[in-house]
Amino acid sequence: MSVRLKIALTIFATGLVTALAVIATVLLAFQRFEHETTYQRATRFLGRVASMYDNMVDMHQRQPDDFNGFLRNLVLFEPDTQLYLLDPAGTVLSSTGSAQLPPGFAVALGPVKQSINQRAAPYVMGDDPERMDANAVIAAVPLSRSTIRANDPVAGYLYLVAHRDAEPATRWQALRASAGRPALGLILAIVGFTTLLAALVVASVTRPLRRLTDAVAALSRKGLQEGAADAGPLLPPATRDEFGQLTMAFGAMLSTLQTQWDTMRRLDHFRREAVSNLSHDLRSPLTATAGCLETLEARWAGDPARAEDSRLAGVALRNTRNAAGLVKALGDLATLDEPSFQLRLEQVDLRELLDDIAMRFHERAVRHGIVLAASPGDHPVVAHIDIELFERAVANLVDNALKFCGTGCHVTLAAETRGDGVHVWVADTGPGIPADELAHLFDRFYQARTSVEPASADTGRGLGLAIVKRIAELHGGRVAVTSEPGHGTRVAIELPTG
């Protein structure tokens, strides 16, 4: 979910919750207002009745059967109101209701006394004998006898219940008209306003983020060298808010990266040019030196008096050849690092290539008692590769394996097609590589294991696997190594399909 959508949903949800809270508050306030109005009207009504008929207790005692009719006449025009005459204990003596109350039925006196003390609450909820619950607005006034007794100041209570009958259809219609439609209109207005506000806020807040995202995408798509020119115009204007500070920080970072990138490019170009020139300049002297040493070695080969000189010439010749190979490897690696280097891709069956490499190293493997074989496959393994470079990469792996394997070891070359590409590997049963050395195995001039043979040009000087890694990267692939001390090593070149 994008930031723009999150902000829009947040504002919309806030507006909707606010609208519902406003409606709920209005409904609660309306209900409270209705209760207060009903209570005040009931209190005034009871006050008038009590002032007009101050002997109601005596009236009930003289004519109890006619008293109910008297009470009904008092509430004749109030269908939702019931009057009750209570004794001092709250027992119902007479009522206007149609329900037959059991003998001795009493209401709670707490709400009655609370209603008498008018300052205690804006309205009082009490017992409704008709409904048998305490969810009705009640009002009460104390009654006294015509002759006041010292031990009986309150002879009873006149108790009014404004209970809530089932709402008639007309009242529901009035409620919908007076509350439902305005509430719905209010909700729609608030939701529409918050939606418009969300659109404005989202547009103003996320526009700088969007432009920053486009600038980063341009850098990711084209790289720092080409994408920096496209990323600059995409940046939002520098303002004083947080987005402006972020824009300035991003621009400063981009400028710093460009400066560092230009410096690194110049240094890397100088390094490659220096290595290439050095390799080119050293090849001729080393070749001439090797030729001279070969001549001396051949001249002294049959002279016993020159045996020591012949041995020293052989050592010098071997070291000269290694130096010449190392110089060539450095020059080749510098060439491979050139950004303008292009592969010459050809379609080839990798099984045939591995067979040719195995035949090239067969005599050397036999000489050291090592079993070297290319694993046959049931199906061709076809890939588009630069044959010369890829052959060199696999040859480096085989040469590396032969150097570190002793007599009786096995070296296997294999290739197969997998779902994610083509895998070519060289596996041996040699001594393996410690786990702490695997991370540095592809570093240039790093040597992981002790060789059983003298170092050669590429391998043994820390350049063999570096060249293998670079060739794999040029083909869009990578190199993976799995090894366990005492159980051999497996180096795989993984190439993508196509």
255 and 276 inside one domain: yes
Range of the domain at 76: 3-171
Tell me what pLDDT residue 300 has.
84
323 and 357 inside one domain: no
95 and 10 inside one domain: yes
428 strand-pairing partners: 411, 489
* Residue 213 covered by a domain: no
Token pair of 409, please?
A: 């070891």
332 and 363 inside one domain: no
State which of 337, 364, 385 marks the end of a domain: 337
pLDDT digits (tens, 9 = 90+) for 250-286: 778 877 877 887 888 777 777 767 767 777 677 778 7
State which of 287, 311, 337 marks the end of a domain: 337
Tell me what pLDDT residue 13 has.
78
36 and 150 inside one domain: yes
State which of 337, 368, 401 marks the end of a domain: 337
376 and 433 inside one domain: yes
Tell me what pLDDT residue 365 has.
92
305 and 367 inside one domain: no
327 and 349 inside one domain: no
CATH of the domain at 32: 3.30.450.20
305 and 350 inside one domain: no
The ranges of the chain with pLDDT < 70 are 1-4, 118-120, 133-134, 146-152, 164-184, 187, 222-238, 272, 275, 280, 445-462, 498
76 and 140 inside one domain: yes
Q: How far apart are the first and last CA of the chain?
A: 34
What angle do the packed helices 3-52 and 181-234 form, to 10 degrees?
A: 160
pLDDT digits (tens, 9 = 90+) for 101-151: 888 888 888 888 888 886 657 888 888 888 776 678 888 889 887 665 556
Domain count, the chain: 3
Burial profile 171-205: b = 16 or more Cβ within 10 angstroms, e = fewer: eeeeeeeeeeeebeeebeebeeebeeebeeebeee
132 and 270 inside one domain: no
* Residue 250 covered by a domain: yes
Tell me what pLDDT residue 143 has.
87
* Residue 199 covered by a domain: no
* Residue 323 covered by a domain: yes
CATH of the domain at 463: 3.30.565.10
* Residue 188 covered by a domain: no
* Residue 14 covered by a domain: yes
* Residue 228 covered by a domain: no
- Spatial separation of the C-alpha atoms in residues 363 and 124, rounded to whole Å: 111
> Measuring CA to CA, how many Å separate 331 from each of 270, 276, 394?
14, 5, 19
- Spatial separation of the C-alpha atoms in residues 144 and 74, rounded to whole Å: 19
Other residues' Cβ atoms within 10 Å of the Cβ of residue 215: 23
Kindly state the helix (H) or strand (E) to which residue 92 belongs, with its residue range: strand 92-95
The whole model's pTM is what? 0.48
438 and 469 inside one domain: yes
* Residue 132 covered by a domain: yes
Tell me what pLDDT residue 458 has.
47
